[in-house]
Structure 1
Amino acid sequence: MKRIGYALGTLLIAIPLVSLAEPLGQGELVKLDTRPGVTQGIFITTPRQTPPKAVMVLYSGGEGRLHLEADGPSKSRDNFVIRTASYWIDHGYAVVQVDVPSDHWRDGLSAYTRRTPDILADQKVVSAEIRKRFPGVKVVLYGTSNGTATEGNILMGAPELADLYVLTSPVSIARKYIGIADLDVPQAYRDRTMLMSNENDGCPAARYSGAQRLVSKNGLTLITESSTEDGGEECGPESPHGYLGIEAKALADSDAWIASKLN
């Protein structure tokens, strides 16, 4: 297990606190035909920098329902990866926010559903669209909580869809559904996969010990965060599970690891 604690020092001073739930505004809503009778919505935002440093593909936690509109997500805007999406745009990355497929528009996606062949088929179409729009640009999958189950599905079923994988607050402890407790990262992608976990995460499915076990089993990098600010929902976005109050540090740590792999 490779545990990293980046010394950011003055770098953090230059990073403003991330504002919550601001629509990205200048993006494009795209609906892709993925399976018979099913469409997959994505929202693509491109930075001023051309070409972008990389493409960040964001998978939200919870049920994953963003209900994308012309100006971005209308739901789940307080989720960690959704509320901080503007950070990546501001730092020269393109951003793709992934909604639920149309056949799960009402019920959303559980960690179990995210591991199914249908969801993997949808993400293959998403990947093809991203590669077409950003030829030659590295693709980073960045998910949180239940969103890491979608990443796990891709990692174990079609890892070539992305170049780097970042799994934050991973659902790594099997409860009703397994999440990614069985994560088995292909050898060629172990150096390209990073887990980030808050050592005070109170969510029963995403305890720090679960992340430690996964990185030890797979020989991955672990970035450890530590905070206690809590809005009262142990598995919600306003808690250590969602890096409440330390968003800037969590993002900068993620960015530092990604940058080290892009060079």
Structure 2
Amino acid sequence: MTFKASIRIGVFAALLALSASSVVRAESSSGEKAAERIVELPLSSGQHQRVLYVAPASPRATIVMLPGGTGDVGLARDGDIRHGHNFVIRTRDLWVAKGYAVVIPDWIDRESLRGARSSPDYAKIIGDLIAYAHAQYSVPVFLLGTSQGSIAAANGAAHAGPGSLAGVILTESVSVLGGSHETVYDAGLADIRVPALIVANRDDRCDVAPPDAAPKIAAAMIHAPEARVVEVSGGIDRSKKACGSLSPHGYYGIEDKVVGIISSWIDGHIGSTGAR
């Protein structure tokens, strides 16, 4: 990590000591006590980002998880989550049980993130989230995005400072233009220089996230040291739309399998890139 990045993280740590509240949760399935914190994260833009932070006692890595849709998680100051169906939100305890800390951002000022996730301004926000993650524990940091959130994850990875990021995971990535008028291809895939995992569900019927696009996404990462594609199958459809969270697009019913695959990949990259 560069000296400049270290200074930045130190500033965030001082500010966050004044801006976090804690909500104690039950034990995770691993038996560890996990505490959820709702954080008002000061951004380099002068705005504030409300963030959910969950961690086991001694995390092995931190995953910044970027949900899809409009980005509206509905984080309340008291720890209530109004919109918790998205894959990265409803599986947070599974990640903690495997030894990872989790950072999940809400939208900002109630503004939809559709169409904004591939922008330079949003890349800076992802950079602030990475800096926050490093300020909590000195462990490798990974980005994970799902659906529209994969655009944000790719954008963040493309702009990540040297040594700040250990890898990026894209799941059910939006690769066909739809209502948001942006895709993962707009996020600078060629500029990603960290290992990447692309997960695609063969049973995903979301029209803007076709599973057969996964190899093309990987091929566009021409500077990534690794761009691995993993296919899964299955899932239960409880959503009204094919792109809904409670569907194969959101890995509903196969969460354990998908978390296990991603976890194995992350474990293979902890400490292998020099990211701290």
Runs of 4+ in 1 over 3 A off after TM superposition: 70-73, 185-188
Letter in 1 for 2:55: T
Corresponding residue number in structure 1 for 2:52 = 43
Alignment equivalent of 1:108, drawn from 105, 109, 112:
112
Unpaired segments of 5 or more residues in structure 2? 1-27, 272-276
Matched, 1:142 2:144: yes
Corresponding residue number in structure 1 for 2:183 = 179
Alignment equivalent of 1:170, drawn from 168, 173, 177:
173
- 1:228: how far off? 5.1
Q: What's the CA shift string for 1:77-135, capped at 9, x where partnerless?
A: 01111000100111111111111123xx1x3210x211122222222222222212212
Unpaired segments of 5 or more residues in structure 1? 1-17
- 1:67: how far off? 2.4
Mapped to 2, the partners of 1:207 and 1:256 lie a distance apart of 24
Matched, 1:193 2:200: no
Q: Contact 2:64–2:129 (CA<8 Å) still a contact in 1?
A: no
Q: Contact 1:53–1:92 (CA<8 Å) still a contact in 2?
A: yes
Q: Contact 1:155–1:185 (CA<8 Å) still a contact in 2?
A: no
Q: Contact 2:190–2:220 (CA<8 Å) still a contact in 1?
A: no
TM-score, normalised relative to structure 1: 0.81
CA RMSD of aligned residues (A): 2.3
Letter in 2 for 1:237: S
Change (3 A) 1:57 1:162: same
Q: What's the CA shift string for 1:47-67, capped at 9, x where partnerless?
A: 02x2x1100111111111112
Change (3 A) 1:229 1:159: farther
Corresponding residue number in structure 2 for 1:8 = none
Q: Contact 1:41–1:101 (CA<8 Å) still a contact in 2?
A: yes
Instruction: Report sequence identity in percent.
Output: 29
Alignment equivalent of 2:266, drawn from 252, 258, 261:
258
Corresponding residue number in structure 2 for 1:246 = 254
Within 5 Å, which residues of 2 pair with 1:26-37? Answer: 26-37=35-46
Paired positions, count = 233
Letter in 2 for 1:47: P
Corresponding residue number in structure 2 for 1:9 = none
Corresponding residue number in structure 2 for 1:213 = 216
TM-score, normalised relative to structure 2: 0.77
